């Protein structure tokens, strides 16, 4: 191919997955790592998230991704001289029904076997660790003191600086347009600013990964859905250094401290997937009322800010990590796909590290990824894996985006 531009690896997407993966690939020894970002770095889901980080996953694999990620955030200052603002707050995942409690207790067993320090708290014990939680309306929950939150815009800054420090070539306002194949072998990519010769491509894209996949001739079962966040005005109950975050798992409503108030977030599970365009105020008010029942101190508080954005999801809420596979079932050598399935703050750096490992070495020692590739989805996009039970109640199909 007659092109002057070349790379050892082209990463599509300048979100937290692409940014950290490019950094890790450069650290693994690749000299010319190019990141293609059609807009500005972090302009997708990564700058708009709530920043919740937990190792309390619903499967051993997602526990491992969360644990690795928390260790990474803790070590950032020493490694890069900057950080993503990780704060250890603790996380309480509430049970409301007897069934929730049975499932929650079984989950704690699994998580403990996966090496996580997590325990079950009764309702009274939960209120003791989080004094703003109502005494009634729940049965306690699982609790890990080591979970916490990052500051998503600061994370964008952190990976931007890390990329720069490791010599990654970030190209903003440069869209990926497709793969160049010769006799079925990857030889380059097309971009809005001309072709780049390469034998390795890592495809990311968050809520738009499905579209990135289409450009590459792949069918990627991933979608985007509206997700809403609001932050209350300050209140003395929240003007504290530390208070555990809480997840009302059944309703998909979570909250945490933010600037003296509470940040809370949720998606509407019965809404059709698609790009978020405006705030659904009636739904947000409903969630606010639910929050008031579980956290009486928020009653009557005004909102300081609210936003909606498009969150990525996969039908089984698990990450996608593996080679590019065409709809005909052919493996595209040199092409790797990485999606955090809507959990890019809590699993992002680990997903990025696995993506970089697969792109650079064709294997990873961080996680067994045999089950996490594109080949787990059938032609209708259904996964053969059970859904991760600790997830927002997203739509189960990715077909409607
Ligand atoms: C409101 C909200 C709250 C959230 N809260 C949390 C949370 O608390 N905890 C958590 O773990 N996760 C949370 N998430 C999810 C998390 O933000 C995402 O999983 C994560 O940011 C995805 O990272 P990414 O790099 O895959 O995608 P993105 O950050 O979306 O980056 C993908 C990039 O690809 C670019 N791109 C697309 N097409 C092309 C192309 N053709 N060429 C070049 N570039 C292209 C896009 O412009 C974009 O910048 C939240 C998300 C939202 C929206």
Q: What is the pLDDT of residues 55-105, one digit of tens each?
A: 999 999 999 999 999 999 999 999 999 999 999 999 999 999 999 999 999
Mean pLDDT of 351-365: 98
Counting atoms of ligand 1 from 1, which one is nearest the CA of 176?
A: 42
pLDDT digits (tens, 9 = 90+) for 232-279: 999 999 999 999 999 999 888 999 999 999 999 998 888 889 999 999
Q: Is the pLDDT of residue 395 over 80?
A: no
Q: Is the pLDDT of residue 300 over 50?
A: yes
9-47+153-223+315-376, which class in CATH? Answer: alpha beta
User: Distance of alpha carbon 67 from its chain centroid, rounded?
Assistant: 14
Q: Is the pLDDT of residue 393 over 80?
A: no
Distance 373 CA to ligand 1 centre (A): 19
Mean pLDDT of the chain: 95
- Closest by CA to 401, choosing from 324, 281, 311, is 311
Distance 45 CA to ligand 1 centre (A): 3
* Angle between helix 60-80 and 98-113 (nearest 10): 60
Residue 396's pLDDT band (boundaries 50, 70, 90)? Answer: low
Contacts of 241 (CB under 8 A, 6+ apart): none
Q: Is the pLDDT of residue 1 over 90?
A: no
| Domains of the chain by residue range | 9-47+153-223+315-376
Distance 282 CA to ligand 1 centre (A): 25
307/40 Cα distance (integer angstroms): 19
* Angle between helix 152-165 and 16-27 (nearest 10): 30
- Closest by CA to 226, choosing from 287, 278, 282, is 278
pLDDT for the residue 2: 45
355 pocket-lining for ligand 1 (C-beta < 6 Å): no
Distance 289 CA to ligand 1 centre (A): 29
Q: Given 3-state DSSP classes, what are the helix, strand and coil percentages for the chain, each rounded to the nearest 5?
A: 30, 25, 45
**Are the beta carbons of 171 and 34 closer than 8 angstroms?**
yes
């Amino acid at each position: 191919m007659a092109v002057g531009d070349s790379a050892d690896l082209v990463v599509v997407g300048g979100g937290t997955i692409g940014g950290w993966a490019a950094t890790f690939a450069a650290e693994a020894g690749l000299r010319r790592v190019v990141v293609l970002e059609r807009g500005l770095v972090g302009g997708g889901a990564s700058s708009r998230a709530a920043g919740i980080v937990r190792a309390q996953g619903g499967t051993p694999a997602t526990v491992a991704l969360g644990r690795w990620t928390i260790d990474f955030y803790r070590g950032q200052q020493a490694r890069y001289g900057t950080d993503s603002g990780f704060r250890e707050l603790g996380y309480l995942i509430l049970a409301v029904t007897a069934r929730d409690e049975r499932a929650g207790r079984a989950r704690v067993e699994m998580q403990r076997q996966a090496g996580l320090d997590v325990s079950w708290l009764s309702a009274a014990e939960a209120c003791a660790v989080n004094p703003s939680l109502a005494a009634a309306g729940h049965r306690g929950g699982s609790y890990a003191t080591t979970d916490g939150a990052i500051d998503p815009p600061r994370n964008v800054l952190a990976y931007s600086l890390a990329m720069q420090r490791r010599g990654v070539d970030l190209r903003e306002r440069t869209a990926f347009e497709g793969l160049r194949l010769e006799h079925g072998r990857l030889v380059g990519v097309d971009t809005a600013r001309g072709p780049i010769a390469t034998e390795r491509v890592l495809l990311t894209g968050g809520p738009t990964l499905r579209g990135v996949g289409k450009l590459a001739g792949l069918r990627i079962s991933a979608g985007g859905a509206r997700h809403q966040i609001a932050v209350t005005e300050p209140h003395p109950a929240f003007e504290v250094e530390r208070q555990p975050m809480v997840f009302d798992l059944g309703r998909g409503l979570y909250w945490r401290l933010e600037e003296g108030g509470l940040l809370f977030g949720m998606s509407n599970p019965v809404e059709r997937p698609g790009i978020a365009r405006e705030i659904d105020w009636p739904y947000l008010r409903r969630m606010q009322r639910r929050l008031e029942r579980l956290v009486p101190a928020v009653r009557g508080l005004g909102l300081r800010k609210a936003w909606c954005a498009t969150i990525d999801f996969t039908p089984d809420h698990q990450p996608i990590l593996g080679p590019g596979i065409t709809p005909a079932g052919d493996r595209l050598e040199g092409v790797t796909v990485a999606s955090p399935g809507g959990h890019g703050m809590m699993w992002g750096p680990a997903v990025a590290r696995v993506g970089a490992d697969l792109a650079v070495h064709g294997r990873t020692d961080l996680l067994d990824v045999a089950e996490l590739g594109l080949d787990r989805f059938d032609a209708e996009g259904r996964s053969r894996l059970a859904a991760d039970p600790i997830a927002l109640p997203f739509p189960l199909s990715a077909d409607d985006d």
